[in-house]
Amino acid sequence: MPDVYVHRHTVREDEIDGQGHVNNVVFVHWMQDAAVAHSSAQGWTPKRYRDEGIGWVARSHFIEYRQPAFAGDEIVVRTWIGDLQRVSSRRIYRILRDGDDALLARAETNWAFLRLDDRKLIRIPPHVAEAFPVIGEKDPREES
């Protein structure tokens, strides 16, 4: 079970905007895809959340765009848990171009934990929290 999850994607033509590069909202899709894939790799699939009647909802996103991405680029979304609070968690992302490791964006999402039937925020259960080690703000690769 990876503490830092690596999600790979090839930029598609339908992700390109009128300026010829990846549209800014596509980065949010990549973040969502990486978060779900990481959670699934940790044993928490969308089905498991539904079966237990619990889940996550995004409260806010922050994205700092650094370089554009283009059709055909191979990108890597590195994601991990920055912090885990009583009812929320901050997930960190580094979106890179594979090959030259160019930083395309730094991002984070503040996720809130809730009960699905009434959409009320609840404390993150211990059996969920233990599946997600807290790494902190920095990518472990950046610290060496």
| CA–centroid distance for 93 within its chain | 6
With a cut of 90, say whether residue 139 has pLDDT above it: no
pLDDT in tens, 39-66: 999 999 999 999 999 999 999 999 999 9
DSSP H helices, 18-142, are: 24-41, 46-52, 126-129
With a cut of 80, say whether residue 2 has pLDDT above it: no
pLDDT of residue 141: 74
- Which of the following CATH numbers is that of domain 5-143: 3.40.50.300, 3.30.70.3420, 3.10.129.10, 1.20.140.10? 3.10.129.10
With a cut of 70, say whether residue 67 has pLDDT above it: yes
Look up residue 23 and give its amino acid: N
Three-class secondary structure of residue 94 per DSSP: strand
Provide the residue ranges of all domains of the chain, joining segments of one domain with +.
5-143
How many of the other CB atoms lie within 10 Å of CB of 119?
A: 9
- pTM value? 0.93
